[in-house]
Structures are given as structure tokens and as C-alpha cells.
Chain A
């Protein structure tokens, strides 16, 4: 994230309160803005719907399904394209951004629209609902993808504008269209708002990166190169959402016959609970793009600047110690926020007009959001160090934990619902911490041994003789053998 990282380092290094605040404000816009605005949209539209006595369940559950599944299905695209862009930025190739966004948008748009179409056809709310909901599914996925690109944009106030105006348009058009076309109208309003976000975001990208309108599908190779990265992303979100979905499909009721199962007391409560991790996310974002990035570069610079092993190891110790300190600090901050939220749960209950059960589930989900946030940070750090398999394992453990503990709560009673998230992410976190720090302790080894060699040739069985040793017979038992001339690239 060269653009925003550079700006954040500039602001935070100013050493003034103004610079400090500006840094965090900007980080908040990019790191937490979309999520906050989404929740604000949902709450406001829900409130407006109730004012007009409209039926809210279908709209709310459609939106929740769209957001839940789009996060799971977009994460592989988002992480893969981010990995590709990081390589491009490293190589100072800035022309790849727009062609990559257009191509990933196209692939993801088609994929999500088709997936959405297949799913929403079963809701049996008519073809307009199916078309609009599928389009919103595809558009929300585009918004998540856009986030992978805007980090590199220096003029990110434009990005902030896109999200703010998109949200406003969502609310207004949903309200207006909802009055005329009911459920479909509300969803269409959200579609219009999200389209605005994508369009303005694209304008911001176009202003930043010169490039003709073209497509670049090079990022697709990274699915083959780093499949664990794609898996890690999808499984992480699946783990988070599985702790909610488990109630949909067990004790939940269908909004429409056979589809759109929901367990309403938990659904909105979980959205609210996610808001509690925002301060830690913002602080982590700033730390990641400033201090951690500097330490990270410091280590690799020591390697590239032909320093001795002693200096390289010293840089690694600095990086490790600072990382541990940062994770401890983030844990403390999140602990304070979580503790305060739990203490003020009754006040929040009143403000948001929750039932007692909803309040308890909100508390459960807030407790779960605590380790979930730290797990997210650990996984992001893993991505930095290219520990893709480890992050996939971590996410996998979290998924199993979320499902396992979630299933257990079904026996324990409704007051424990939602605690699957806490159990699963704690389990994932334990594994994640272990994997991350054992791998970092061997960082110099991993860095060097993973370097490819220009002369490395993929093994082929023909390289061995019958006895299994390296070599090719040109003459065997006095007979000249026909050996292809490989200097001309003949691979037969």
C-alpha cells in the first residue's frame, strides 16, 4: 500500500498533534470507513423502513447474505490481486493497476453475478428481485476489491468522498425507491449507492495511475503460485460467518420458504459487535503502514545492502520485539474497548432498542470480536512474511473452532449463542501466534532459502538414467542414441 503508507508515515513522523490526528483520521477512512458506512446505511435504512411500516426482514437478510457471502467469496480475489499489485509496486510498475482492476472486476463481477443469480433465483421473489440482488452482490464484491487498490492511491480523500457519497446515495435512493417499489426498491437503492462508490473509486485510480483502458490477467497466475493465500482469505471470513450461519441453518427460520434462513436476534447484534474492533483496526492499520513497515524494510534492506549476518539478525530482533510490543498494545486497547462495551451493554441495549436476548448475544459477539481482531492482525502479518500456508492453517483451525464451539452452544442454550466466534478465534489465535513467531524466529533462514535460483530447472524423469542417477547417455553399449538437442528449446 505504497500511497497511503507513504502519507501515513509522513503524517505520523511530523511529530505534531495535528499530523498524528491526520494520520489516524486517514487510516480510519480507509481501514474502517467502508464497514462503518455499511452499518450506518443498514441501521438508517432499517429505521426509515420501520417509519414507513415497510417489511424489513427480506431487505435486511438479503443485505446480510450479500455482505456475508461477498466477503467470503471476494477475499481470494482481493488477496491474490493485492499480492500481485505488491509485486508490481516493488518493481515500480504502476501501469498494472487499472488494467488489473478492470480485469479482476470483470472476472469477479461475472463470477459473483452468476453465483448471486443462481442463489437468488431460489428465493422466488420474482425476476426483478433476482436481477437486482445479484447485481448488488456483484457490486459489493467490487467495492471490496476496490479496497485492495485504493491503498496505493495518494489522493485518498477522493476515496473517502466515494464512500461517504455512496453511503448517502444508498440511504436516499433506498428510501425513495423503497417507497415506490418496496423490497426491490431498497435493494436497488443500495445498488445505486455502491455503484457510486465504485465509479468514484475508479476515477481516483485513473487520476493516480496513467494507463489506457486495457485488461491484465497476470494476477490470475497467483492463484496457482500462492493458492494458500486465496484459501486463507476465504476460510478466515467463512470462520467468522460460520459462527453466525450455524444458527441460521439449525434454529433459524426461513424468510422465504426454504431459503434466506435467518436468526434475527444474532444477525444485527453481530454487525454492531463488529463495530467494537474498529479502534484497534485503525491503530493496527497505522502501525502496519508505519512502524512495522519500517522494521520490515529495515530487515530486507540489511540483506540487500550486503550486511553481515550479525546485522541482519539484529534487524530481525528489532522487528520481532516491536511486533510483539505492537500486538500486546493492540490487545490492551481492544481489551479496554471490549470491557467498556460489555460494561455499557445495557445503555447500548436501550439506544439500539434491543431485547434482553439480543443484548446477551451482542455481548457474546463482542467478546468474540476481541480475539477475532487480533487474529486478523496476525494473519495480515503472516501475509507480509508470505506465510500463506500457515495463515491458511490458522484460518482453518479458527473455522473448525467456530463450528465446534458454535455447535456446542446449541446444547448450552440461547444465552451462549455466538460464543463460537470467541472459541474459534481464540483457538485460531493460539495456533496463529505459535506459527507466526516460530516462523519469524527463522526469518533469515526462510528469507534466504526461499530465494529461487535462476539456474533451477524443473525436474523431469528423463534427466535420470535407468539406474536413477543424473545424466543422459549419448552412446550406450556402443550404440549412438538419439538425444534431442535442448539448446534449441526442444523439450520432446
Chain B
């Protein structure tokens, strides 16, 4: 039997990024444990290209397509009416953003040992009983909304949910989900199916990220505001989608044994989203400092006359690259020889990348800004003078900590753990001094001013860089993080560190 199975949605091992690297380091760092992975892909038509060399202690990897609607042939079972009665509270709760009645619904949705679920996905999607449940929910909560849109929201929200209850999950002693949402649901299903615990680690807050995404989505119909309403809300259908993820988050929080998060800000929001505070513990992320301090190469030659600013991250809306580009315009007006590098893949959202490129051209910054695509950042940090992060949502951005290894000060938005990383978490930590500047989200001028201030004061820049280096060495080392998770895993799996390494 496997020791730990990771439940990953759109991350490890097929999509690179902070969370993926973190999972990889945990697996590589604990060769004595046997790991499995369940990867939730949007569709089986998505290219599944391994982005990490798979460690030998990964014994099982299952890919489950999430949004492909497939009706698995299942035999009908008796007692349908009773089953529907037990499923209804859960379904209606999800539409309100509540996680109620999943235990009662579970046996009708998921196989349990040799027992097939009572209800088939087709029945859950298309039967008259399903229709009665959905119209009852509609009449209770959204009686005036467009029924057509409600129906489609229902289908697209619930079919993946029902389908996930039928997903393959390898047996293990412990399940570890790295987000709430769909992975959290799968972890809940795994835990109930095999009667074993699961733990949750949240880097970014899934509910929060989905809320931002859904608010900005233009594929969801927004109904007209109520007559006389002073405030224009998100509309019924965006609310339904947000409620779905809110409910999945609560479901995960209810059933998980422990919740690990990276920083204090996350903890507070998790409590807001329904997590019991007593389950939450902070384990900050760590970096392998030697990988950065002992890297001999430089991407660019030293040139004291040039001021180099870098943003390390994927070119995607959540990183708000457009605000960064706008801030470069202000920087460029105040810094003599400015070079700006956006270090990260551009192929994840090609439309957004094209828009960024157009913006660079329109602002006349073609000679200043360079998109480098994917690079070995270790050879870039030493070449930069300031690192900037303009994200609208972050967990605990490792790129800031990696930059600190090279004494690179940071200007970052006040999201996720950025404030803790730059100013320090504990009193002792804060005594080290700030390692950069924290700015508001979406404020290009403030970002630019912070960079310009550091440009104009090289002494302060150096001081802040050193504070960052000291902070990462003291509080954010990977070996500390690994040790924390090793003891967690071992406490659940009963394994000891001396156990034979998987060959």
C-alpha cells in the first residue's frame, strides 16, 4: 500500500509552478515513503507532458479528466427515491455555498468496496428526480433568475462533482490535497471510501482564486440588477459558481484531519471560509538555499551603470503583468539605463501574453522590457537589482525567498505572505528589518515609486537585500519545511525515517 497520495488539480507533475515544485521537493526529500498521485486534468484531450523527472518513489500516477462529461454505463439500483431524498440536502446546500449532508449523499454517489453507488451519473444529470431537485432549489433560492442559465450552471457545476465521486483513487495510508476545490472533494471521497485520514495544505487560497477568476469571467451570464438596487452584485450565476467552490472548500475543511498553511494571512481567511481554527497550523515554505548561493553562472554580465528590474512568474492575469508594465513606464522616466526582464513562461495564456506585448509596444517600452520565457532563475537573481511582484493573489511566493538568497530586495503587492516575507512574521523576525517594500494591488505608480526609491538609495537597497538573505536563512529553509512534513507523514503512516528506501 502507498504511504501518501497527493491529490493535485492542474499542478504536479504536468504543470510547472510553485506548488508543483513544492510537491516534487517533498517526494524527492522523503525517499523512504511510497507516494502516489491523482492528477485532475481539465480534459483528456489536454497534452500530458511530464514537467518533472518522476522520482522513483512515485509508484502510482492516475490522471482523471475533470470536465469531460462521460456517462459511465452503470446498472440501475432500487431505492432510487430514498437515495434522492438523501442526496438533495447536499445538492441544495452546495448552491447556497454550504457543505451539508455529504455523508448521507456519499453512498449514493461513490462506490464503496464492492458496492456500486445507488445513483448513476446519467440519473444525476438527466433523470426526472434530478430535475425535481434542481427546480426545487431554483424555486427556493433563485426564482426570478434566467432558468436556462441556471440549468446550465447546474450541469457544469454538478456533473464534474458527481463524476469525481467515481474517480480512481489508489489506496494509501494518508491522502494529501494541496488545494480545496475539486482536489479537496476527491480527498474527502478518498478518505470516506477507504476510511483513512487526509490532510490539506493550502498555498494560495483556492476559494479566493476562483472568486477572482469568476468575478472576471465573461462566459458567465450576469442578470440585470434588481430594480431599485443600489449595488450591482456579481449576478446570480457568478454567485452560484462561487458558492460551489465555497461549499467544496467547507467540505474539505470539515473532513480533513489537519490544515497546513503558509502564513498568518491565509489562516485568517481560511477561518473566514469555514475552516475550524484548531485544525490549522502554519508551515512556511522553504527554499534550498545552497542551490541559489552556490550557483556559479550569471545570465548577464555585471554592468553597474545599468539598473535591472525583474519579475519572476508566469505571464498570466493573476500575476497582473499589465500593472507591472504600466509601472515600468514611470520607472523608465526616472531611471537612466533601465532594463526590465519578465522571467517566466508565456504559453499558459497566449491571449493575455499577446495583450501584454501590445501594451509594451503601445507604451514604447519595446527596448526596455524583455520576455525571457522559461529560464534558470538561479543565474538571473544575481544580475538583478530589484525583484518586483504585482500579483493580485499569491500564497507564499518562493520567488521572493529565492531572490533573497542572492540578497535581492523585493517590491511586492500586499497579497498572500508577501508582507510577512518582507517585514517579518514574529517580533524576532521583524527585528531583521524590511527586505523590500509592500505596495497596493493594481497600483502601478506606487510600485514604480518603490523601485525608484531603491534605485536612488543604493545603501538602503543593499541593507534590505541583506535583511532578506538573513531572513531566508533563518526561517525559510527547505530542510526545515521538509522536516515538518516528514514528521507529519510519519505520524500518520507509522513509517520511520530508517525505513528502506524505495528502489
A487 touches B46 (CB 8 A): yes
**In the assembly, what is the distance between CA of A455 and CA of B47, in Å?**
17
A471 touches B64 (CB 8 A): yes
Q: Say yes or no: A463-B145 contact (C-beta < 8 A), given A309-B139, A473-B60.
A: no
B48 touches A485 (CB 8 A): yes
A470 touches B64 (CB 8 A): yes
Given the complex, which residues of B lie within 8 Å of A473, measured CB to CB?
A: 60-62, 168
Given the complex, which residues of A lie within 8 Å of B61, measured CB to CB?
A: 473-475
Given the complex, which residues of B lie within 8 Å of A476, measured CB to CB?
A: 59-60
B59 touches A477 (CB 8 A): yes
Distance to closest chain A CB from B277 (angstroms): 35
A308 touches B146 (CB 8 A): yes
Given the complex, which residues of B lie within 8 Å of A448, measured CB to CB?
A: 131, 151
Q: Which chain A residue shows the least CB distance to B138?
A: A309
B54 proximal to A (CB < 8 A): yes
**Candidate in B63, B143, B149 with the most chain A CB atoms within 10 angstroms:** B63
Interchain CB contact (< 8 A) of A474 among B46, B62, B67, B69 = B62
**In the assembly, what is the distance between CA of A312 and CA of B148, in Å?**
10
**In the assembly, what is the distance between CA of A157 and CA of B143, in Å?**
49
**In the assembly, what is the distance between CA of A480 and CA of B54, in Å?**
10
Distance to closest chain B CB from A454 (angstroms): 9
**In the assembly, what is the distance between CA of A8 and CA of B239, in Å?**
46
Distance to closest chain A CB from B11 (angstroms): 15
A307 touches B146 (CB 8 A): yes
**In the assembly, what is the distance between CA of A193 and CA of B205, in Å?**
79
A471 touches B167 (CB 8 A): yes
Over the window 108-136 of chain B, the binary record of Cβ atoms lying under 8 Å from chain A Cβ atoms (1 yes, 0 no) is: 00010000000000000110100100010
B52 proximal to A (CB < 8 A): no
A303 proximal to B (CB < 8 A): yes
Over the window 444-476 of chain A, the binary record of Cβ atoms lying under 8 Å from chain B Cβ atoms (1 yes, 0 no) is: 010011000101111100011101111111111
B169 proximal to A (CB < 8 A): yes
B62 touches A471 (CB 8 A): yes
A308 touches B62 (CB 8 A): no
Q: Say yes or no: A478-B111 contact (C-beta < 8 A), given A310-B143, A469-B167, A487-B45.
A: no
Q: Which chain B residue shows the least CB distance to A481?
A: B61
A412 proximal to B (CB < 8 A): no
A308 touches B147 (CB 8 A): yes
**In the assembly, what is the distance between CA of A307 and CA of B147, in Å?**
6
**In the assembly, what is the distance between CA of A256 and CA of B138, in Å?**
69
B423 proximal to A (CB < 8 A): no
Q: Which chain B residue shows the least CB distance to A485?
A: B47
Distance to closest chain B CB from A316 (angstroms): 12
Size of chain B's interface in residues, with CB distance under 8 A?
Answer: 51
A442 proximal to B (CB < 8 A): yes
Q: Which chain A residue shows the least CB distance to B110?
A: A469
B221 proximal to A (CB < 8 A): yes
B163 touches A470 (CB 8 A): yes
B47 touches A465 (CB 8 A): no
B:39-76 near A, CB below 8 Å:
43-48, 54, 56, 58-65, 67-73
B138 touches A465 (CB 8 A): no
A258 proximal to B (CB < 8 A): no
**In the assembly, what is the distance between CA of A477 and CA of B62, in Å?**
11
Distance to closest chain A CB from B186 (angstroms): 11
Distance to closest chain B CB from A222 (angstroms): 22
A18 proximal to B (CB < 8 A): no
Q: Say yes or no: A477-B63 contact (C-beta < 8 A), given A306-B149, A469-B166.
A: no
Q: Which chain B residue shows the least CB distance to A465?
A: B168
Q: Say yes or no: A308-B143 contact (C-beta < 8 A), given A445-B131, A453-B69, A472-B44.
A: yes
B295 proximal to A (CB < 8 A): no
B94 proximal to A (CB < 8 A): no
B211 proximal to A (CB < 8 A): no
A483 proximal to B (CB < 8 A): yes
**In the assembly, what is the distance between CA of A473 and CA of B36, in Å?**
11
A225 proximal to B (CB < 8 A): no
Given the complex, which residues of A lie within 8 Å of B143, measured CB to CB?
A: 308-310
B:60-104 near A, CB below 8 Å:
60-65, 67-73
B68 touches A455 (CB 8 A): yes
B59 touches A475 (CB 8 A): yes
A304 proximal to B (CB < 8 A): yes
**In the assembly, what is the distance between CA of A308 and CA of B159, in Å?**
23
A465 touches B62 (CB 8 A): yes
A470 touches B146 (CB 8 A): no
A486 proximal to B (CB < 8 A): yes
Over the window 213-238 of chain A, the binary record of Cβ atoms lying under 8 Å from chain B Cβ atoms (1 yes, 0 no) is: 00000000000000000000000000
Given the complex, which residues of B lie within 8 Å of A303, measured CB to CB?
A: 147-148
Q: Say yes or no: A459-B71 contact (C-beta < 8 A), given A306-B146, A469-B111, A471-B168.
A: yes
Distance to closest chain A CB from B49 (angstroms): 9
Distance to closest chain B CB from A489 (angstroms): 8
Distance to closest chain A CB from B57 (angstroms): 8
A478 touches B166 (CB 8 A): no
**In the assembly, what is the distance between CA of A464 and CA of B167, in Å?**
9
Q: Say yes or no: A470-B72 contact (C-beta < 8 A), given A308-B147, A312-B147, A445-B131.
A: yes
B144 proximal to A (CB < 8 A): yes
**Candidate in B38, B61, B139, B143 with the most chain A CB atoms within 10 angstroms:** B61
A477 touches B72 (CB 8 A): no
Q: Which chain A residue shows the least CB distance to B149?
A: A306
Q: Say yes or no: A306-B151 contact (C-beta < 8 A), given A457-B69, A465-B62, A471-B168.
A: no
Q: Which chain A residue shows the least CB distance to B67?
A: A455
Given the complex, which residues of B lie within 8 Å of A480, measured CB to CB?
A: 54
Given the complex, which residues of A lie within 8 Å of B149, measured CB to CB?
A: 306
**Candidate in B43, B221, B502 with the most chain A CB atoms within 10 angstroms:** B43
Q: Which chain B residue shows the least CB distance to A474?
A: B61
B425 proximal to A (CB < 8 A): no
**In the assembly, what is the distance between CA of A303 and CA of B149, in Å?**
10
B60 touches A475 (CB 8 A): yes
B70 touches A449 (CB 8 A): no
**Candidate in A307, A308, A459 with the most chain B CB atoms within 10 angstroms:** A308
**In the assembly, what is the distance between CA of A312 and CA of B138, in Å?**
13
Given the complex, which residues of A lie within 8 Å of B63, measured CB to CB?
A: 471-472, 474, 483
- Provide a sorted-by-A list of 24 A–B residue pairs whose CB atoms are within 8 angstroms: A303-B148, A306-B221, A308-B145, A309-B135, A442-B128, A448-B151, A453-B69, A453-B155, A453-B159, A455-B67, A456-B69, A457-B44, A464-B168, A469-B111, A470-B167, A470-B168, A471-B62, A471-B63, A471-B168, A473-B62, A475-B59, A477-B60, A478-B58, A478-B502
Q: Apart from A459-B70, A468-B111, A470-B166, what 20 extra A-B contacts exist at CB < 8 Å?
A: A303-B148, A307-B148, A309-B139, A310-B143, A312-B147, A459-B71, A459-B73, A463-B70, A464-B168, A465-B62, A470-B163, A473-B168, A474-B61, A475-B59, A475-B60, A476-B59, A477-B60, A478-B56, A483-B63, A487-B45
**Complex A-B, nearest 3 residue pairs according to Cβ-Cβ distance, in ascending order:** A471-B168, A306-B146, A469-B168
